[in-house]
């Protein structure tokens, strides 16, 4: 049975995806077109590091036909938390082409750091943020375990946020799950389970260097079905190192009954671990 569960990746233009997910010789301008051959949804994450530009999203829309996009909010809204209304206008102007194509826009993703704990002050900040982006679907990834209490989750929903359900290593203080359906749609992010490198790493990519096994993907599928409730459900793999997230996303799509074609570069690189 066809379900409204959509699986994709967090980002698509990683250099180390060449020769694994992408053909080695592919032109940079064709990456997103190639990505769309395999996935229906994409989480755009460059917008966390720099403000978006309209021409970038115009290009994304022009080069694809059906791909739908979630957009990660800039760090000024989640990590620095000192934004102005000018920042809001600048961000929204940058993604305006996507917002005008309503059927191809999923949500804004606000990913907060683990240091952002539950408090009356931080709850008030979420209220301000929600007001600034009123009328736009928005999801919040709250990484500190203090946000996982039922009464706090209810407050988040009342503010108009969808709560992101997360799979990640079970390190101290990190909110994994909570595997609750909070809001009008479901949003799931899968970061891998690289416990050793979550905090202790030299390069940021090391945190996400992880390939889920078949058993782990089956477990994740069960958790997704537990929160599904017939809602549109978006699942994004962020274990991006060398295309591992792309491979796992294709494997999960297959588990949901979709026909998939795994690129030969991924098969060659990870053939011994495809279905462990």
Q: What is the pLDDT of residues 143-156, one digit of tens each?
A: 999 999 999 999 99
Q: Which domain holds residue 217?
A: 5-273
Q: What is the CATH number of the domain that holds 246?
A: 3.20.20.410
Q: pLDDT tens digit string along 182-195?
A: 999 999 999 999 88
Structure tokens at 63: 């080069």
Q: pLDDT tens digit string along 19-45?
A: 999 999 999 999 999 999 999 999 999
DSSP code, position 50: S
User: Sign of the C-alpha dihedral, residues 190, 175, 194, 76?
Assistant: positive
- In the chain, the number of structural domains is 1
Chain centroid to CA 24: 25
Under 8 Å between Cβ of 23 and 265: yes
Is there a cis peptide before residue 218, judged by omega within 30 degrees of 0? no
Helix/strand/coil for 63: helix
Distance between CA 216 and CA 64 in Å, rounded? 32
Cβ neighbours of 267 (radius 10 Å)? 12
Cβ neighbours of 43 (radius 10 Å)? 22
Q: Model pTM greater than 0.75?
A: yes
* pLDDT value of position 203: 74
* pLDDT value of position 2: 56
């Amino acid at each position: 049975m066809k379900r409204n569960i959509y699986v994709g990746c967090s980002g698509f233009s990683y250099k180390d995806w060449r020769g694994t997910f992408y053909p080695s010789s592919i032109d940079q301008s064709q990456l997103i077109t190639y990505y769309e051959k395999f996935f229906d949804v994409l989480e755009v994450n460059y917008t966390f590091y720099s403000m978006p530009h309209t021409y970038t999203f115009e290009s994304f829309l022009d080069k694809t036909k059906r791909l739908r996009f979630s957009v990660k909010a800039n760090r000024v809204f989640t990590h620095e938390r000192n934004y102005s209304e000018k920042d809001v206008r600048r961000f929204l102007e940058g993604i305006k082409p996507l917002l005008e194509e309503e059927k191809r826009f999923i949500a804004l993703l606000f990913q907060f750091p683990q240091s952002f704990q539950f408090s009356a002050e931080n709850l008030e900040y979420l209220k301000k943020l929600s007001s600034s982006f009123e009328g736009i679907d928005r999801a919040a990834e709250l990484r500190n375990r203090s946000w996982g209490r039922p009464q706090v989750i209810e407050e988040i929903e009342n503010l108009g946020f969808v709560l992101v359900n997360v799979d990640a290593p079970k390190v101290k203080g990190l909110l994994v799950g909570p595997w609750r359906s909070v809001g009008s749609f479901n949003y799931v992010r899968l970061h891998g389970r690289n416990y050793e490198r979550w905090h202790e790493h030299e390069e940021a990519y090391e945190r996400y260097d992880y390939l889920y096994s078949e058993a782990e993907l089956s477990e994740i599928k069960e958790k997704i079905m537990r929160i599904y409730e017939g809602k549109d459900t978006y699942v994004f793999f962020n274990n991006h190192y060398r295309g591992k997230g792309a491979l796992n996303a294709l494997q999960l799509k297959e588990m949901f009954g979709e026909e998939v074609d795994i690129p030969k570069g991924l098969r060659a690189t990870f053939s011994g671990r495809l279905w462990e």
